[in-house]
Amino acid sequence: MSKREKIMLAAIEAFKEKGIEKTTISDIVKTAGVAQGTFYLYFPSKLSVMPAIAEHLIAQMVPAIEKELTQHADVLDQADALVEFIFAFTRQYRDVLALTYSGLAATEHLKEWEDIYEPIYKWVAAFLEKAKQDKRVRENLNCHYAAKFIIGLLESSAEQMYLFTETDTDEVLIQKREVKQFLLYALGIETP
């Protein structure tokens, strides 16, 4: 593993452990097992690690979403898969996601957040477009906007859950079922 990568992963650990504000570069290099000065060979400041972390997350997210969606032919199954995926992903990375968002918000980098999401929006929009051609969603659906609403809706509902629990309690299962129904109506998907 490269030193740069070591530092980035150590930063994630340290941020999780102590919060962004209280994490020092000293903490990060101690966790990474490199010298104090080495940090500056790769990053100019503590918060400049954030975009790298965000990219790291997305680099894991995009191919996973793609794989999920292409596994299913019908939009109903795809919606289902998307909900499951976003909940699973949010659960797995809940700390890091909150940290990354918060870390970007604390700097001037917040605007990059949307750029980072762009590829995901694209993918979802493409699938909706396909479904529209197949008349499987309502014909007045604006796929470009809908993609963003869907991601926002699913992420916020997943976060609402995993703020309190790390495991999939009954409460989580109900929330998932309900958000799926909410989503199907919003997209105008006919259920059998």
Does 36 bind DNA (CB under 7 A)? Our answer is yes
CA distance 49 to 10: 10
CA distance 137 to 131: 6
Does 48 bind a second copy (CB under 8 A)? Our answer is no
Report how many residues bind a second copy under the rule CB under 8 A. Answer: 44
CA distance 84 to 81: 5
C-beta atoms surrounding 51 within 10 Å: 19
CA distance 187 to 74: 13
* Residue 54 · residue 71 · CB < 8 Å: no
Does 52 bind a second copy (CB under 8 A)? Our answer is no
Positive or negative torsion for Cα 111, 114, 117, 122: negative
Among 25, 88, 110, 151, binds DNA (CB under 7 A): 25
CA distance 168 to 87: 10
Q: Which of 19, 13, 11 is nearest to 46 (CA)?
A: 11
Indicate which of a second copy, DNA, none lies near residue 179 (CB less than 5 to 8 Å, by partner kind): a second copy
Site for DNA in 39-78 (CB under 7 A): 39-41, 44-46
Does 108 bind DNA (CB under 7 A)? Our answer is no
End-to-end CA distance of the chain: 50
In this chain, which stretch among 14-22, 26-34, 56-64, 65-73 interacts with a second copy, using CB under 8 A?
Answer: 14-22
Indicate which of DNA, a second copy, none lies near residue 142 (CB less than 5 to 8 Å, by partner kind): a second copy
Indicate which of DNA, a second copy, none lies near residue 25 (CB less than 5 to 8 Å, by partner kind): DNA
Indicate which of a second copy, DNA, none lies near residue 169 (CB less than 5 to 8 Å, by partner kind): none
- CB of residue 34 to a second copy, shortest distance in Å: 19
Indicate which of a second copy, DNA, none lies near residue 36 (CB less than 5 to 8 Å, by partner kind): DNA
C-beta atoms surrounding 3 within 10 Å: 15
Indicate which of a second copy, DNA, none lies near residue 40 (CB less than 5 to 8 Å, by partner kind): DNA
Task: Provide the binding-site residues for DNA, judged by CB under 7 A.
Answer: 3, 22, 24-26, 34-41, 44-46
